[in-house]
Every structure is written in C-alpha cells, then in structure tokens.
Amino acid sequence: MSRRPGREVALVTDSTAGLGPLAAELGCEVVPLALQIGGRLYREGPELSSAAFYRLLGEAGAPPATLPPDVDEFARVYEPLLATHEHVLSLHLSGVLSQTVARAREAVARLGAGDRIRVVDSGLAGAALGLLCVEARARLDRGATPAQAEAAVARIAAATRIYFSVYSLDFLYLGGRLERVRGSGSPLAEDRPILSLESGRLALVERVIGETTRVERTIELVEREFGAGEPLVAAVTHAGERGRAAAARLEQILAANGAGVDVRLSSPLGPVLCAHTGFDVCGIAVYPRRLSAIEPAADRERS
C-alpha cells in the first residue's frame, strides 16, 4: 500500500494535546504523561481517561502529582519511527509548564538522531497543542518539508492566544503553576478567574462574576486581541459539568454572532492539565485564519 503524501514524516505529540481518536487519523503517535493518585501511577490516555480521572480526583485526599514521560519512553516511540520514516516532527506542551520537551530532546541525543527528529516546544498546552498537530499534518500532507512545517507551526504558536476560566485558583497555586498575587482580596463565591498562557507561562487576566459573564468576557477578550472582523481558527476545551456547559454556550455564541471564528477542535481537558486547573474549566485558543492550512469548515461542508 502506498503512503499518503507527507506521511514519510512521522508526527509525534504528548497526551496533553487531547487528540483522542483524531491521533490515528493524523497518523500521530502520542507519548503519555503520568499522574500519581493515591500512591498509584497512571498513564494519561491508555490507563486513565478524563471521565475516570474526574471520579478519582473527587475521591483523592490530596492533589495528584503529574510526571513527564521519561527518556526511555520517548526513545521507544522514536526508534521504530526512524526505521520507517525519514524524519520525525515532535510537538509538545510548554517547556515552562513541564519537562516533557526536555525529555524528548534527551531521547533524540541518546539515539544520535540529529536533525532527523525535530522537537518543538510549542509554548502551548491542551487543545491548542492538539490543533497545532492538525496544522502540522495539513502542511506535511501538502508536501511541506519538516523544516517548513516546523516554521509554520512556530508562527501559529506565536500568534495563538489562549483564554480559560476556572472555578478556583487553588489547584494552580498548589501545583506551583501560578504565582500568588498579593493584595487581590478574598474571591467571592461566584468569582470566576480568567487566565491566559503567555510565552508558555500562565497569567491571571482578571476575575469576573458568574457563569454567563465568564463566557461573554472570554469572547470580548478574543475580540479585543484580534478585532471583531478578523477570521480566526479556534479550539475549545472544558472540564467538569459546568465547564462543559460554559464551553457549549461559548461555541453557540460564536456560531450565532457571525464572528468568523472557525472552531475546529472541541475536547475535554485531559487528566494531567486538569490536575493543575481543577474542575469547571472553559477555555478557547485562537489564531488568525490567514496562518492556517486547514480547510475552512464551510468549504468542507460544501464539497
């Protein structure tokens, strides 16, 4: 059987991308991160789904610890790919948030793979990383070289803006992913912090009151960043019942108001990231359509 164009370049990411069944369609290998819950180690995806994790997190007496893949695991993924592909493009979550990308680079050095494996620190996480994998595959399938695909996804990653709301900042504080802001006062019961990911680091944008307000404010932040008329490509993510409801409302508003936001990926937040954010997450990642190689949804529906 002949290969599809571009499939001589293998694609690899980590489990925080939340690709699920889409990974097989993309021909993308997924290296799992791990969580330690109640003294037991689980690998994200193969051994712990989002639904099972939500249940375990509710029962756990302490916040779970998250662990990057070890060098051996990356080597086990890369070795067979090098035997069947000329090149590997490996896209991963922010190196500020995790040692995952550092472990990937250690594995490349151990294998002596040189520039046959290109490891990319996306500076992103979650569905934003998943959508970046879709963009990479779209370019590779059109004949882009690994270097060209890497440069293209780097431009997209730099232009991507992420906004997400959480129920509480406690998980982020406990996990050391966010510095405490002094003098911010005690949050109200209906307070919803909105955060962003800037240069790979988490930052608190503002606090709003109520479920409806956080959705509307997220849309306002996107419009403020890109302008009301800029066509955008987006990924939406969520965790927990309220987060899923908020994400659904977010997508409904975007579809109804003619904002030109093409939501191409909508997925639950995986266990590793949810361990740091807690439940009740609603988020969006957006970048300009002009940078995208993905066929617009409207064009696909007409064809």
**Overall number of domains in the chain:** 2
Distance CA 119, CA 135 (A): 16
| 3-class secondary structure, 49 | coil
Residue 19 lies in a domain: yes
227: containing domain: 161-301
Low-confidence ranges of the chain (pLDDT < 70): 1-7, 58, 60-62, 168-190, 210-211, 258-259, 297-303
Domain identity same for 18 and 104: yes
Residue 29 lies in a domain: yes
Domain identity same for 72 and 19: yes
CATH number for the domain including 217? 3.30.1180.10
Residue 297 lies in a domain: yes
Q: Distance between the two ends of the chain, CA-based, in angstroms?
A: 26
pLDDT of residue 186: 43
Say if residue 253 is exposed, middle or buried (CB neighbours under 10 Å; 0-12, 13-18, 19+): middle
Domain identity same for 290 and 187: yes
- Kindly report, residue by residue over 214-246, the tens digit of the pLDDT: 899 999 999 999 987 889 999 999 998 889 999
pLDDT of residue 64: 83
**Helix %, strand %, coil % for the chain, to 5?**
45, 25, 30
pLDDT of residue 202: 85
CATH number for the domain including 112? 3.40.50.10170
The last residue of one of the domains, among 157, 178, 211, is 157
pLDDT of residue 225: 94
